[in-house]
């Protein structure tokens, strides 16, 4: 049975996952919007990255601890490199806003996966659900 804490963890996990996917789509869109032509190789690379991100988030949702750990490492790298780019690159305001969005969303994800009691309860529920089947 799902307690309120588990439901809260499920809901927040879904919201964070959706936010990560939206920022990925937004990044792909902004990158190609400012280019004179669509670079098919770069677009293919970005679509593959998006699919891998989707798969990783799904594995986190179903309770895979190793997927959570990989995501924490990748999102932390994303925060560090985005912060570095924010400070060193000369870019228009829209680019800086996108980087700030990425930092915020990735930081929320890292916090949620590492410190959230509701996520821990939801992950435990997902793992127990599989072992009871």
Domain that holds residue 64: 4-128
Decide if 117 is inside a domain.
Answer: yes
Decide if 58 is inside a domain.
Answer: yes
Low pLDDT (below 70) residues in the chain: 130, 132-133
Residue 132 · residue 90 · CB < 8 Å: no
The structure tokens listed for 17 are 């996952």
To which residue do tokens 């925060």 refer? 79
The dihedrals phi and psi of 32, each to the nearest 5 degrees, come to -80, -25
Vertex 55 angle, CA 52 and 60, to 5°: 125
User: pLDDT at position 30, please?
Assistant: 87
User: pLDDT at position 133, please?
Assistant: 58
User: pLDDT at position 132, please?
Assistant: 67
pLDDT digits (tens, 9 = 90+) for 24-53: 999 999 889 888 899 999 999 999 999 999
User: pLDDT at position 93, please?
Assistant: 85
Decide if 133 is inside a domain.
Answer: no
Domain count, the chain: 1
Decide if 36 is inside a domain.
Answer: yes
The dihedrals phi and psi of 17, each to the nearest 5 degrees, come to -60, -45
User: pLDDT at position 46, please?
Assistant: 97
To which residue do tokens 């924490």 refer? 72
């Amino acid at each position: 049975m799902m307690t309120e804490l588990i439901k809260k963890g499920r809901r927040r996990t879904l919201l964070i996952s959706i936010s990560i996917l939206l920022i990925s789509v937004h990044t792909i869109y902004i990158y190609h919007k400012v280019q004179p032509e669509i670079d098919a190789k770069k677009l293919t690379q970005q679509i593959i990255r998006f699919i891998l991100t989707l798969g990783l988030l799904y594995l986190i949702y179903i309770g895979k601890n190793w997927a959570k750990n990989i995501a924490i490492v990748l999102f932390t790298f994303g925060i560090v490199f985005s912060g570095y780019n924010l400070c060193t690159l000369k870019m228009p305001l829209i680019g800086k806003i996108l980087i700030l969005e990425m930092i915020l969303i990735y930081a929320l994800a890292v916090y949620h996966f590492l410190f959230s009691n509701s996520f821990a309860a939801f992950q435990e529920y997902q793992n127990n659900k599989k072992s009871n089947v």
